[in-house]
A = this chain, B = another copy of it.
Amino acid sequence: DWLNAYRQGGNPQNLLTGLLNQLINSEQVDGNIRYGSSWISLADATNLQQQLDELQQRLQQNQGDLSALPLYGVPCAIKDNINVMGFNTTAACPEYSFAPQQDAFAVSLLRRAGAIIIGKTNLDQFATGLVGTRSPYGAVKNPFNADYISGGSSSGSAVALASGQVAFALGTDTAGSGRVPAGFNHIVGLKATPGAISCRGVIPACRSLDCVSVFALNNADAGYIYQLLAVYDEQDEYSRVRPPVAENPIRTLGIPATSEWFGDEQQQLAYNKACAQARAAGYRLTEIDFTPFFQLAELLYQGPWVAERYAAVGEFLLQSLPGINDTVKKIITAGCDGSAVDAFKAEYQRQQLVRKIEQQFSQVDALFVPTTPLFPTLKQVEDAPVEVNSQLGRYTNFVNLANLSAIALPAQRRMDELPFGITVIAPAWHELALSQFAAHWQAQLQLPLAPLVNGQQQQDSVVVAVVG
């Protein structure tokens, strides 16, 4: 891993310059990033040098003590709706592009820990979508099978990591954007309790629900990055101090009493196998009624929360600009229709459903669900872009509305070799309990948790993981 490489005398200057040159070779065509890349922008030589210089300064300030820089020289990718000084923020819309004057709060914490930001990643425009195809920079290719979607909206961050281009990546997650692409790319996606990680410096999707999420190759890395980022930010009004919650260890898992696979039998088989593996690992699986979860999931898309997207970027999208994605425009501009009366009525419904959900969590410690109920092809999404998108959100949409924490984890691949992922969902502030489950799950399944390079899962690589 990266830290070991440095401890053994590796030099960030050489290793990271090499990495960037590799990326430029693989991702750029004629000096421009290729269509459908994970990346929207890559650090140029000046940008990288500046980061490396700052890193050396930080090290000197710490008298050369590497332990004060826990991410010393570790390369990461940042979703392009999160501000990073030295890179334009596009939110996957070229005409929206601007040069931020400040790092997002989460990014500043990564820099302070020594991380190097390699570039900004592609996404469903304005983080509106779970598909990874709604971008004028091209649909991000799934590294396991290019006929299938990579998932979104944090598609680029997930694929850059899954392809071994960085050691970890940041995404965002409002309706599942930090979990769905984890499931489709065989990586870990940690979406902590809303407010645990500051969203200051993130282009809002639904500001009252947005989360910064962490992608990593394994649970230990995800937990490590999370702990660095979970810092209360007085200047973000949705940032929250962790209350004195006693976390319940996860023993009993709620699974849906009835499920709908939208014709994807492979996904169903993979989930059944995962359930059997969870039972074999000693967990008690209990069928519970998912009706309140599904109703809350529907409320997110049919209710007033799209007005939050309109409040953020609606007026910008009213313009006629070639870089605006039609589907995204249609969804968000419809958000100006609702009335305040309807917004409050939906909020009452939400509170009622949240109450029912709390009652469900008195029976189980966590939910154990497929990250998505289907793994669609690019073609399927093209044919029904809105419908397939909402099918994808079945097990993710309700999570932030209900103030829950969740981790998406790789499970055993499907019989057709596509990745399959499960998600464990717990009450607020249960990140440690989720991490303990994930560690146990990983140990039981013994899956290869290394990136794909040229279509081959690596067993060992310098670009593997943060924590050895």
Distance in angstroms between the alpha carbons of A340 and B206 in the assembled complex: 13
Given contacts A208-B348, A237-B348, A307-B344, 20 further A-B contacts (CB under 8 A): A234-B355, A234-B359, A237-B352, A237-B354, A237-B355, A304-B344, A307-B339, A308-B344, A310-B341, A311-B341, A311-B348, A314-B341, A335-B341, A338-B339, A338-B340, A339-B339, A339-B340, A340-B343, A343-B343, A343-B344
Q: Are B237 and A351 in contact (CB under 8 A)?
A: yes
Q: Does A34 contact B (CB under 8 A)?
A: no
Closest Cβ–Cβ distance, residue A137 to chain B (whole Å):
28
Residues of B within 8 A of A307 (CB): 339-341, 343-344
Residues of B within 8 A of A243 (CB): 243
A352's nearest neighbour on chain B, judged by CB, is B237
Residues of B within 8 A of A344 (CB): 207-208, 304, 307-308, 311, 343
Quickly give the copy total for this chain: 2
Q: Does A336 contact B (CB under 8 A)?
A: yes
Q: Mark A321-365, 1 if CB is under 8 A from B, else 0.
A: 000000000000001101111111101100110110001000000
Closest Cβ–Cβ distance, residue A50 to chain B (whole Å):
33
Residues of B within 8 A of A352 (CB): 237
Distance in angstroms between the alpha carbons of A352 and B207 in the assembled complex: 12
Q: Does A244 contact B (CB under 8 A)?
A: yes
Interface residues of A in 260-274 (CB under 8 A from B): none
Distance in angstroms between the alpha carbons of A344 and B209 in the assembled complex: 12
A239's nearest neighbour on chain B, judged by CB, is B355
Q: Does A87 contact B (CB under 8 A)?
A: no
Q: Does A238 contact B (CB under 8 A)?
A: yes
Residues of B within 8 A of A343 (CB): 304, 307, 340, 343-344
Q: Mark A294-320, 1 if CB is under 8 A from B, else 0.
A: 000000000010011011001000000
Q: Are A345 and B234 in contact (CB under 8 A)?
A: no
Closest Cβ–Cβ distance, residue A427 to chain B (whole Å):
13
Closest Cβ–Cβ distance, residue A455 to chain B (whole Å):
45
Q: Which of A208, A347, A354 has the most CB of B within 10 A?
A: A347
7 A-B residue pairs with Cβ-Cβ distance under 8 Å, sorted by A, are: A208-B344, A237-B352, A304-B340, A335-B341, A338-B339, A340-B340, A340-B343
Q: Are A238 and B340 in contact (CB under 8 A)?
A: no
Distance in angstroms between the alpha carbons of A310 and B244 in the assembled complex: 38
Q: Are B207 and A348 in contact (CB under 8 A)?
A: yes
Q: Are A345 and B237 in contact (CB under 8 A)?
A: no
A306's nearest neighbour on chain B, judged by CB, is B340
Distance in angstroms between the alpha carbons of A207 and B335 in the assembled complex: 24
Q: Which of A244, A335, A341 has the most CB of B within 10 A?
A: A341
Distance in angstroms between the alpha carbons of A308 and B311 in the assembled complex: 20
Residues of B within 8 A of A354 (CB): 237
Distance in angstroms between the alpha carbons of A238 and B345 in the assembled complex: 14
A235's nearest neighbour on chain B, judged by CB, is B355
A246's nearest neighbour on chain B, judged by CB, is B244
Interface residues of A in 366-407 (CB under 8 A from B): none
Closest Cβ–Cβ distance, residue A126 to chain B (whole Å):
15
Closest Cβ–Cβ distance, residue A201 to chain B (whole Å):
16
Q: Mark A55-95, 1 if CB is under 8 A from B, else 0.
A: 00000000000000000000000000000000000000000
